[in-house]
Amino acid sequence: MIPEYDHTSTSVPADAETARPACKPWCVQHDPDGDVCASNTIDVPGYSKASLTYTEVEGLRIHMDYASLSTAETWQLTKAILALLDLDNPPPAQSAEEEPDMEPVPDVVQAQALAAGREAMNNHLLLRMSELSTHDLERQAIKNGTLPRPTWLDDDPCPSWCAYGHEHLPSSGTGDRTHGSAAHRVTLNVMEPIVIGYPKSFAQPTLCAELSQHFREKEARVIVHVSDQQIFEATLAEAEQIARNLLDLVAQARGRSSQPCLDVPCPDVACRICYPLPSPVGSST
């Protein structure tokens, strides 16, 4: 077992009897009796100290004096140990040689790259200018009542519920050719107020349900938002099942034996929700 040593010295002793040429480069205090090399100590939060020793018999050893350590202090101690190990195995020195320069790009390649960049930029500017000019002409045609019907509506006209037919333009891009319904909104008063982006406010969240259908889709989808965040999209069949489940929960909470019908009046003449019994003669309403 190695005896305790004072590893607090921070300078290499000048005495030849306490420092030998065979010492490790990091040795700052050599014990000739035990032939032990000792490094500087590294202070670690938590009243801890760590140091490195070396003997030919035991090799490298880490010595620590510590109390109980927190997670952060343990991490600091780990870094200190790694720093001590780096003393004996330092990373290789960076080469002083400069990296060779890259071969120069031939003039003809540079000219081709510049020409391709200019062409791409000009095409983008031309497209953008044409788009802005077309929008200006369409806005003027809307004011004059002379805007032609978009040809992309010929095969897929607006459904009866589309509330944005006036926004369908001949120049609408493929991604903008979408039919949308009027939104149905319900304020959710049992939820915590939130920051709403448009219009900017701090208020109760609002649930919004609406229909959406791209001009090439065969069926509309039901889209549900809570304020600015989209919650889900559903097919018509899925949305109908969700609606039935919600109505069933409401019916249970209100003590009804069955849920209200989605189709009013329903085909079942025995349904007292759609076909309530007439009030007795003379009764007040």
Q: How many domains does the chain have?
A: 1
The answer to whether residue 8 is domain-embedded is yes
User: Residues 1-59: pLDDT tens digits?
Assistant: 333 434 343 333 444 344 455 788 888 888 877 788 888 887 766 556 777 888 888 78
Residue 258, pLDDT above cutoff 70: no
The answer to whether residue 41 is domain-embedded is yes
Per-residue pLDDT at 186: 93
User: Residues 162-175: pLDDT tens digits?
Assistant: 998 888 888 887 88
The answer to whether residue 31 is domain-embedded is yes
Measured CA to CA, the distance from residue 7 to residue 152 in angstroms comes to 85
The answer to whether residue 220 is domain-embedded is no
The answer to whether residue 167 is domain-embedded is no
The answer to whether residue 68 is domain-embedded is yes
User: Residues 56-99: pLDDT tens digits?
Assistant: 887 888 777 655 555 566 667 677 777 777 776 776 665 656 56
Q: Which domain holds residue 2?
A: 1-90
User: Residues 97-147: pLDDT tens digits?
Assistant: 656 677 788 888 888 888 898 888 888 888 888 878 887 888 888 778 888
The answer to whether residue 26 is domain-embedded is yes
The answer to whether residue 99 is domain-embedded is no
Per-residue pLDDT at 219: 94
